């Protein structure tokens, strides 16, 4: 028995050595066949080495979203307008949405910028669920508002968001901005659903048509591709969402119109809803580091060209972009702050007066102070986009 065990041991060892030998030989052959082996990368010559260095130093990666929302389109627009060959390049990356994007900017290597929602930044700051982020995340600028699209069956019993208590609702992809912001909205309004489904918009709409769920939610900049594809013949409709007091701290009032969705909203009609603020964020790299300098270069290329983003064929939401808008409770990236200090013209007293008159005529005095100031900044951006400033 001992002899058999000894022979088996030697046989196993011989087999192992044989496999190891084949592996080494295979690796050697593959390396020999590779026209650009890693060990020779530094021997490419000064021209190739400088090109590689330049491409990496002048490229920023921005985590966005999926084709159903507006994030991916905004990221593409940044690439289309700002790309300048090897001198500067924006690399759009498909992401899971606002909630995951914050995590990716905070922890994922290779991510310089991300698009998310201010309400989610505030949530993570408040709950500490992904660790402290106050000194880890900074914002570059406010981009636009993202409207809540609440879709239900046209012939169904759901007449308001409060009717969704005890119902089945799709909150969109798990971890997305829609998912987490919808949780915030429903919790603040006291709407307790029987089942929160987390599937993509295409699946959610089909489930709603089949009666498997009672509502589908999407929070994204209008007009969204997935909502625009819904036809009146599908038997679905957009449901109004009132701007109730529990929402006034982190959200804004908004409207959806016939021009946004001709097949779902009659001409001259509008659907009241609420919106969240979409912001561009970055990791708070120490000043002077390579990664800090890379984000600074983005600011230097992006800010002076903001007017280009308000022209066709860019996404209509760029008309709401306001570089000067502040994000209460958060620090702006130093390079962005410095650029604004050098180039921004302060608002005039007459503009402030016009805004106060505008607010007064619409009985909007109940706004939280930070939201009121944000509305004023959007008012200035609106005037600027029309050449009135």
Claim to verify: residue 372 and residue 310 sit in the same structural domain: no
- Residue 69: pLDDT band (50, 70, 90) is confident
pLDDT of 45: 74
Report pLDDT digits (tens) over 97-114.
899 999 999 999 989 999
Picking from 313, 324, 337, the residue whose alpha carbon sits closest to that of residue 382 is 324
Whether 76 and 138 share a structural domain: yes
Instruction: State the pLDDT confidence band at 86, using cuts at 50, 70 and 90.
Output: confident
Q: Is the alpha carbon torsion for 220, 221, 226, 232 positive or negative? A: positive
pLDDT above 60 (res 343): yes
The yes-or-no verdict on residue 24 having pLDDT over 50 is: no
* 234 shares its domain with 270: yes
- Higher-confidence residue of 322 and 238: namely 238
Same domain? For 248 and 309 the reply is: no
Both 307 and 189 in one domain: the answer is no
- Same-domain pairing of 284 and 270: no
The pLDDT of residue 348 is 52
Read off the pLDDT band of 11 (50, 70, 90): very low
| Confidence label for 66 from pLDDT (cuts 50, 70 and 90) | confident
Which of the four pLDDT bands, split at 50, 70 and 90, describes residue 300? very high
Helix (H) or strand (E) holding 268: none
pLDDT band at 346, cuts 50/70/90? low
Averaged pLDDT, 206-232: 95
Residue 23 above 90 pLDDT?
Answer: no
Same domain? For 155 and 265 the reply is yes
Is residue 41, in this structure, part of any structural domain at all? no
User: Is the bond preceding residue 313 a cis peptide, omega within 30 degrees?
Assistant: yes
Per-residue pLDDT band at 376 (split at 50, 70, 90): low
Average pLDDT over residues 302-327: 94
Domain boundary among 261, 277, 293: 277
- 11 vs 343: CA distance, rounded Å: 77
Instruction: Give a yes or no: residue 83 inside a domain.
Output: yes
Tokens linked to 47: 């021209």
Does residue 30 form part of some domain? no
Residue 199 confidence (pLDDT): 96
Instruction: Return the CATH number at 169.
Output: 3.40.190.10
Percent of the chain at pLDDT exceeding 90: 67
Instruction: Give tens-digit pLDDT for 160-203.
Output: 999 999 999 999 999 889 999 999 999 999 999 999 999 999 99
pLDDT higher than 90, residue 141: yes
Q: Which residue has the higher pLDDT, 34 or 129?
A: 129
The whole-number average pLDDT for the span 257-283 is: 96
Q: Do 194 and 249 share a structural domain? A: yes
The Cα–Cα gap between 165 and 245 comes to: 19
CB burial string 277-304: b at 16+ within 10 A, e below: bbbbbbbbbeeeeeebebbbbbbebbbe
Q: Quick one: how far is CA 83 from the chain centroid?
A: 20
Please check whether residues 330 and 226 belong to one and the same domain. Answer: no
> What is the pLDDT averaged over residues 12-30?
37
Whether the pLDDT of residue 32 is over 60: the answer is no
Nearest to 255 by CA among 268, 245, 383: 268
Q: Is the pLDDT of residue 278 over 90?
A: yes
Q: Any idea which of 126-140, 329-343, 356-370 has the lowest mean pLDDT?
A: 356-370
Using the predicted structure, report yes or no on whether residue 19 has a pLDDT greater than 70. no
Tell me the residue range of the domain where 100 lies: 50-143+279-344
Mean pLDDT calculated for residue range 316-331: 93
Q: What pLDDT does residue 96 have?
A: 87
Q: State the pLDDT at residue 70.
A: 87
Confidence at residue 20, expressed as pLDDT on a 0 to 100 scale: 36
CA distances from 117 to 120, 257, 273, 337, 364 (A): 5, 23, 17, 20, 23
Whether the per-residue pLDDT at 257 is higher than 90: the answer is yes
**Residue 21 burial (C-beta neighbours within 10 Å; 0-12, 13-18, 19+):** exposed
Domain count of the fold of the chain:
3
- Does residue 171 contact residue 217 with C-beta atoms inside 8 Å? yes
* The pLDDT value given to residue 285: 96
For residue 136, the 8-state DSSP code is T
Identify whether the C-beta of residue 219 lies closer than 8 Å to the C-beta of residue 177.
yes
Note the maximum CA span of the chain.
101
Residue 7 confidence (pLDDT): 45
What is the spatial distance between Cα 226 and Cα 235, in angstroms, rounded to a whole number?
Answer: 15
**One domain, residues 228 and 105:** no
| pLDDT for res 52 | 63
């Amino acid at each position: 028995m001992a002899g058999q065990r000894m022979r088996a041991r030697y046989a196993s060892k011989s087999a192992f050595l044989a496999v190891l030998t084949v592996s080494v030989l295979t690796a050697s052959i593959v390396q020999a066949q590779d026209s650009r082996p890693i060990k020779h990368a530094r021997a490419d010559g000064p021209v190739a080495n400088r090109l590689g260095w330049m491409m990496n130093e002048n490229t920023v990666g921005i985590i966005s979203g999926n084709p159903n929302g507006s994030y991916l389109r905004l990221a593409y627009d940044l690439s289309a307008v700002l790309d300048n060959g090897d001198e500067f390049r924006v690399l759009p990356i498909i992401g899971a949405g606002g909630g995951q994007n914050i995590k990716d900017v905070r922890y994922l290597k290779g991510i310089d910028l991300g698009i998310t929602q201010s309400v989610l930044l505030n949530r993570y700051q408040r709950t500490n669920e992904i660790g402290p982020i106050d000194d880890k995340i900074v914002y570059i600028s406010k981009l636009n508002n993202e409207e809540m699209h609440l879709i239900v069956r046209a012939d169904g019993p759901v007449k308001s968001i409060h009717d969704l208590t005890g119902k089945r609702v799709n909150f969109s992809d798990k971890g997305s901005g829609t998912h987490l912001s919808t949780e915030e909205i429903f919790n603040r309004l006291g709407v307790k659903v029987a089942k929160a489904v987390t599937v993509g918009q295409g699946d959610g709409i089909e489930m709603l048509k089949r009666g498997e769920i009672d509502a589908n939610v999407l929070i994204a900049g209008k007009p969204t591709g997935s909502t625009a594809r819904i036809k009146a013949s599908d038997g679905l409709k957009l449901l109004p969402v009132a701007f109730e007091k529990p929402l006034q701290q982190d959200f804004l009032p908004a409207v959806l119109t016939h021009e946004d969705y001709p097949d779902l909203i009659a001409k001259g009609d509008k659907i009241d809803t609420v919106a969240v603020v979409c912001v561009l964020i970055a990791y708070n790299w120490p000043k002077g580091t390579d990664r800090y300098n890379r984000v600074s270069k983005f600011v230097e290329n992006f800010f002076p060209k903001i007017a280009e983003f308000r022209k066709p064929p860019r996404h209509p939401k760029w008309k709401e972009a306001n570089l000067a808008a502040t994000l209460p409770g958060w620090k702006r990236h130093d390079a962005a702050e410095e650029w604004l200090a050098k180039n921004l013209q302060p608002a005039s007293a007459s503009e402030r007066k016009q805004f106060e008159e505008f607010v007064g005529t619409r009985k909007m005095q109940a706004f939280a102070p930070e939201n009121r100031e944000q509305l004023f900044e959007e008012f200035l951006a609106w005037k600027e986009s029309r050449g009135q400033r």
